[in-house]
Structure 1
Amino acid sequence: MKYKVMYDNGSRLRVRSGQWAFTKKEGYGLASLLLEQDFIHEVYTSHRNGSITIYYDESSQNKQKIFKFLNKITIRDLFEAEPTQIQVSKEISDDFYLKISKMIFKRFLGRIFLPLPVKNVLTYYRAIKYLWEGLDSLTDFRMDVALLDGAAVAGALWQGEYASASSMMFLLSISDALEDYTIQKAKSNLKDSLALNIDTVWVVGEDGEETQISAMDIEKGDKIKVHMGDVIPVDGKVIEGEAMVNEASMTGEPLAVHKRNGKTVHAGTVVEEGNIIVETYSINKETRLNKIIDLIENSEELKADTQSKAEKLADSIVPYSFLATALTYLFTRNASKALSVLMVDFSCAIKLTTPLSIISAMSEASDNRMMVKGGKFLENYANADTIVFDKTGTLTNATPKVVDVIPMSRRYKRDEILRMSACIEEHFAHSIATAIVKQAEMEGLKHEEDHSEVEYIVAHGIVTEYDGKRAVIGSKHFLFDDEKVKVTKTQQKKLDKVEKEHSVVYLAINGKLEGVICIDDPVREEAKYVIEELKELGIENVIMLTGDSESGAKAGAKALGITEYRSQVLPEDKSRIVEELKADGKTVIMVGDGINDSPALAAADVSVSMKHSSDIAREVADISLLSDDLYDLVTLRKLSTGMLDKINTNYRNIVAVNGSLLVLGVFGVIPPTTSSMIHNLSTMLFGAMSTKSVLKDNDFNKGIEVEAIEVADSS
């Protein structure tokens, strides 16, 4: 491939190969080839000029590898591919900016070079759209913005105010483009969150051997092995195994569904527990998930309530605009004064600034590594008065450590308790299991498979046979309430002491308590300060939910400055608590990261998933944090409330300016031309103000706060 380096700053490289180097779809294929390199993060191609933009880990060695790769590319290596969601999102933005640039450029050139008669004819031509939409509203007896716009354009043309009519239509066209862009970006973000980000799958062959292949190479009829915690990559039928599958992304139902032989499963759903083999019958665009994604294209549900209210407000003003125009003409008998009133269109500015404010806020969220699925979720976050935290992995680092192992009888010694627990827990990847296995490894306690197949019960524990005996390990509720394990008075005294200080995992053999493992999961250093600042920003209620014992939960809440908490909470309890808070009139934010949190995330007014969340938590959540900084919750609050403040400020300014123009027009102080010019200029000014950064002024404050935290810690 022949190319010329156009830009090179060490981590971003742009080369150009010329207009006919590759087609649009071949550009996607070229990008996918480059993205196979671990050090390359993003690739964007443009078929218009053969441009390839590459973002990579900065090093001269990596740059040389890129050049070497590009030098080897031939026409035979090019192939057509589909774009990634990141590429689609960027193209939406690029197309929008190109469209706006063309509109401004054409208007600028037209005003300078086109003769007046030609400009007037073009004005009449562009007016047809607005006149037709106005007539459509009139025939349906709708008193809406389309009718007002059509009447204002018609009135300007009737009075010969061609420049005013042209300016009005130009601003209305920009407003329409902005609204389309807002909806497209929201849909793109939602499609991105629903898209299957699966690179490889396990295929079971005829001989029963499992082979890992690329997800792109799946074919109909393939038998796919899906493990606990994994996203199902295809639509298919279960032919072996049993599992509890969470179908929230498909049905919205938060509770998992039991799947066994012969049952159908769908791509995008998640195996909460168990392992299954699925025979594939639909892949890629044929899956039900992708059909749902296609339906999103026709959805209007992604608009923020504020944006919908703005449109309703704009429509509600229309009758008053017509009434003011009619009264002006009735009392003055002056068509020019009446037109001055009609030309002052409140709705134009409202419709322009509201989507601009939302776009700007969503863009800022993206720049700060926060993915928001729609403007309405930012609005809900701003209006929330209650935040509910899952403890583990959210307020803590999800890296619990074993701090003590206590035998509860003379049958097994300390090391044997830890060795047995690690042997059972090693089959599961949750954080507490990892801590137990890691502690056993650190102490050199090697173990063998002395147990039968293990059964994992979500949020409770594990059941198996160990050395021919029934072994259960898990929570207090699981062992003592569900499994009816008996505790002696001596054991209870020991438990009373350790349960006050630590979270505890219990091990029982043949119905008798044999040992407990004490676990500590230190809270995040920044968590306390984040909670304090959220309260200062208007969050009235901060609630912590945890499966820990009462004493462990109380200690964690005290360390964080949380006054309200719930201990020994089950997954179904979390969603019930959220529903109860909503029933009490609270607007609830739910922050979580695990499979267990998904019902509560689905139930909340707005939900947030952390960086290292489970697949299902990310799918259910309305907002996903892409960094591991809990302070992003504060940033998000400032951003969302700033967005609403900006919109409300725009409303006040629009009413003040346009109200003044109405009065001046009625008293004949300014003619229609001046009224229209000031109206249009003020609308453009409000639009520009709507794109102003909300967080820019907060960056310095955040730096001061972080320094204050560091000083406090050091002292």
Structure 2
Amino acid sequence: MFFIRVYKGIIPYNFLIAGLAYFFTRNFTKAASTLLVDYSCAMKLSAPISVLSAMRDCARNGILAKGGKFLEEFAESDTIVFDKTGTLIESNPVVKKIVVFGSRKENEVLKLAACLEEHFPHSLARAVVNEAASRGLNHKEEHTKVEYILAHGIASSLDGKKLRIGSAHFIFDDEKIPLTKEADDCINTITGCSQLYFAIDGELAAIIVIEDPIRKESCAVIKKLKDSGFKNVIMITGDNKHTAKEVAEKTGVTDFVAEALPDTKVSWIEKLKKEGHKVVMVGDGINDSPALSAANVGIAMGKASSIASETADILLPDDGLDSLPVLRKISRNLISRIHGNSRAIIGINSALIAGGLAGSITPQMAALLHNSSTVAISVNAMSSLD
């Protein structure tokens, strides 16, 4: 923290001034005046009080900051990176349509997909399970043990047939499922939506198209963040480029990265930090946790997974995207207050030290004025920052 660096660095000068005063004047009273007026005393009181006031104001707005240093980092950050699902878009996506291939029935495919996805606490998985429930499709636990591959998909088997559901990377690259021309043509027509790919026994059985409504506040929040000094507003998503581009254009982010895996997100954040940027990461899912940890400040949405919430440095309230500009305002006001108080402390105490050395004020008066100004500045540090 800034104030810690300042008051630790300024303490030796108090003793140096007192020593020099006694050396040149041989007057113990004047030397004592300089020791009774201590720069670090006021700083050690007012700065932590300012931080506590900022954390109080955050809590009043439903924001949980796990430490003052994260508020300082957030205030000084110039780059903010968003995950897409659950942050810039709603966390309750719905199934828009199901494209089946071959002679399979739509409800049959959805029933099997829901049977796998019910084990996975992700918004896209919930969309599949909810769609099956809305159609009255009851699915029994007939498949074998489910294996969840982080940020890729889910693997299981039923009646000796391999079941796979997940991202395009998982299905086509990892599982080597053939991509037919029919499926490829279908994929190229889907824009603005997420896709889950479902394969049965080595063949693509269906594409489940999931609509992700953009949060109504996303555009306004991103504009406010840009106005507050964020030079780079980036979206990183596991979705394809078509979907990512459409969401980016609608929300106003300055750049986007599509088809990203958890390690891709971390690599991008590390790259940005090496370029000299101070980076904030905003996410909500299990696969966002490594990126939240890698960023200078990790921020989790209110309905984030437990792992993301534990990893993050700051927690927003439920559906709290609107809280980001508020958090920026509080954190920047905190830094301004600490700097302002420091200037006032140095100015007042320097004047008192000069008065003591000149003999115009007594040590008792210097101590009284010093302590009075410390109390006044500390009381001012309690006022609201939001």
| Map of 1:380 onto structure 2 | 73
Q: How do 1:661-700 and structure 2 match up within 5 A?
A: 661-695=352-386
| Map of 2:8 onto structure 1 | 312
Q: How do 1:16-165 and structure 2 match up within 5 A?
A: none
- Is 1:340 aligned to residue 36 of structure 2? no
Shift, 1:639, TM fit:
1.2
Gaps of 5+ in 2: none
**1:400/1:519 contact within 8 Å kept:** yes
| Map of 2:25 onto structure 1 | 329
Question: Which residue, 58, 63, 80 being the options, matches 1:365?
Answer: 58
| Map of 1:395 onto structure 2 | 88
- For the aligned residue pairs, the C-alpha RMSD in angstroms reads 2.0
Q: Structure 1 residues 681 and 481, CA, compared in 2 at 3 Å: closer, same or farther?
A: same
Shift, 1:436, TM fit:
1.3
| Map of 1:623 onto structure 2 | 314
Partner Cα separation in structure 2 for residue 594 and residue 353 of structure 1: 38
**2:94/2:210 contact within 8 Å kept:** yes
| Map of 1:113 onto structure 2 | none
Secondary structure of the corresponding residue to residue 503 of structure 1: strand
Q: How do 1:194-209 and structure 2 match up within 5 A?
A: none
Shift, 1:550, TM fit:
0.9
AA aligned to 1:471 is: L
Secondary structure of the corresponding residue to residue 9 of structure 2: helix
**2:18/2:31 contact within 8 Å kept:** no
Partner Cα separation in structure 2 for residue 429 and residue 362 of structure 1: 31
Partner Cα separation in structure 1 for residue 123 and residue 30 of structure 2: 73
Question: What is the TM-score of this pair, normalised by structure 1?
Answer: 0.52
Deviation string 1:131-152 (CA, Å, 9 cap, x unpaired) is xxxxxxxxxxxxxxxxxxxxxx
**1:546/1:566 contact within 8 Å kept:** yes
| Map of 1:579 onto structure 2 | 270
Shift, 1:591, TM fit:
1.4
Partner Cα separation in structure 2 for residue 467 and residue 419 of structure 1: 15
Question: What is the TM-score of this pair, normalised by structure 2?
Answer: 0.93
Gaps of 5+ in 1: 1-304, 696-715
Secondary structure of the corresponding residue to residue 693 of structure 1: coil
Q: Structure 1 residues 681 and 424, CA, compared in 2 at 3 Å: closer, same or farther?
A: closer
Shift, 1:319, TM fit:
4.2
Partner Cα separation in structure 1 for residue 36 and residue 138 of structure 2: 83
Q: Structure 1 residues 424 and 322, CA, compared in 2 at 3 Å: closer, same or farther?
A: same
Shift, 1:435, TM fit:
0.9
Shift, 1:328, TM fit:
5.5
| Map of 1:353 onto structure 2 | 46
Say which is worse superposed, 479-488 or 309-318, in terms of deviation.
309-318
Q: Structure 1 residues 356 and 445, CA, compared in 2 at 3 Å: closer, same or farther?
A: closer
Shift, 1:338, TM fit:
4.1
AA aligned to 1:606 is: V
Deviation string 1:489-509 (CA, Å, 9 cap, x unpaired) is 2332122112x3421111122
Deviation string 1:7-31 (CA, Å, 9 cap, x unpaired) is xxxxxxxxxxxxxxxxxxxxxxxxx
Partner Cα separation in structure 2 for residue 564 and residue 359 of structure 1: 35
AA aligned to 2:98 is: V
Say which is worse superposed, 483-492 or 555-564, in terms of deviation.
483-492
**1:456/1:462 contact within 8 Å kept:** yes
Secondary structure of the corresponding residue to residue 164 of structure 2: strand
Secondary structure of the corresponding residue to residue 694 of structure 1: coil
| Map of 1:414 onto structure 2 | 106
| Map of 1:614 onto structure 2 | 305
Q: Structure 1 residues 524 and 328, CA, compared in 2 at 3 Å: closer, same or farther?
A: farther
Q: Structure 1 residues 642 and 501, CA, compared in 2 at 3 Å: closer, same or farther?
A: closer
AA aligned to 1:329 is: T
| Map of 1:464 onto structure 2 | 156
Deviation string 1:41-79 (CA, Å, 9 cap, x unpaired) is xxxxxxxxxxxxxxxxxxxxxxxxxxxxxxxxxxxxxxx
Deviation string 1:137-184 (CA, Å, 9 cap, x unpaired) is xxxxxxxxxxxxxxxxxxxxxxxxxxxxxxxxxxxxxxxxxxxxxxxx
Partner Cα separation in structure 2 for residue 552 and residue 393 of structure 1: 15
Higher Cα Rg, which structure: 1
**1:314/1:350 contact within 8 Å kept:** no
Q: Structure 1 residues 491 and 620, CA, compared in 2 at 3 Å: closer, same or farther?
A: closer
Shift, 1:420, TM fit:
2.9
Partner Cα separation in structure 1 for residue 362 and residue 192 of structure 2: 79
| Map of 1:222 onto structure 2 | none
Partner Cα separation in structure 1 for residue 32 and residue 184 of structure 2: 86
Deviation string 1:445-503 (CA, Å, 9 cap, x unpaired) is 444445333322221112222343222111100111011111222332122112x3421
**1:326/1:338 contact within 8 Å kept:** yes
Shift, 1:516, TM fit:
0.7
**1:310/1:351 contact within 8 Å kept:** no
Partner Cα separation in structure 1 for residue 183 and residue 34 of structure 2: 85
- What is the count of residue pairs matched by the alignment? 386
Q: Structure 1 residues 408 and 688, CA, compared in 2 at 3 Å: closer, same or farther?
A: same
Deviation string 1:310-344 (CA, Å, 9 cap, x unpaired) is 331332432442255236515xxx54444434432
Question: Which residue, 513, 529, 536 being the options, matches 2:204?
Answer: 513
Secondary structure of the corresponding residue to residue 229 of structure 2: coil
Q: Structure 1 residues 452 and 671, CA, compared in 2 at 3 Å: closer, same or farther?
A: closer
**1:328/1:337 contact within 8 Å kept:** no
Secondary structure of the corresponding residue to residue 517 of structure 1: strand
Partner Cα separation in structure 1 for residue 214 and residue 224 of structure 2: 17
**1:314/1:351 contact within 8 Å kept:** no
AA aligned to 2:63 is: M
Secondary structure of the corresponding residue to residue 178 of structure 2: coil
Q: Structure 1 residues 469 and 650, CA, compared in 2 at 3 Å: closer, same or farther?
A: same
Shift, 1:362, TM fit:
2.0
Q: Structure 1 residues 657 and 485, CA, compared in 2 at 3 Å: closer, same or farther?
A: same
Partner Cα separation in structure 2 for residue 315 and residue 328 of structure 1: 21
Partner Cα separation in structure 2 for residue 616 and residue 343 of structure 1: 50
**1:317/1:346 contact within 8 Å kept:** no
AA aligned to 1:313 is: G
Higher RCO by CA contacts (8 Å cutoff, separation 6 or greater): 2
Partner Cα separation in structure 1 for residue 51 and residue 373 of structure 2: 19
Secondary structure of the corresponding residue to residue 22 of structure 2: helix
Q: How do 1:221-620 and structure 2 match up within 5 A?
A: 305-326=1-22, 329=25, 334-409=27-102, 411-498=103-190, 500-620=191-311
Q: Structure 1 residues 451 and 667, CA, compared in 2 at 3 Å: closer, same or farther?
A: closer
Secondary structure of the corresponding residue to residue 518 of structure 1: strand
Partner Cα separation in structure 1 for residue 201 and residue 193 of structure 2: 25
AA aligned to 1:431 is: S
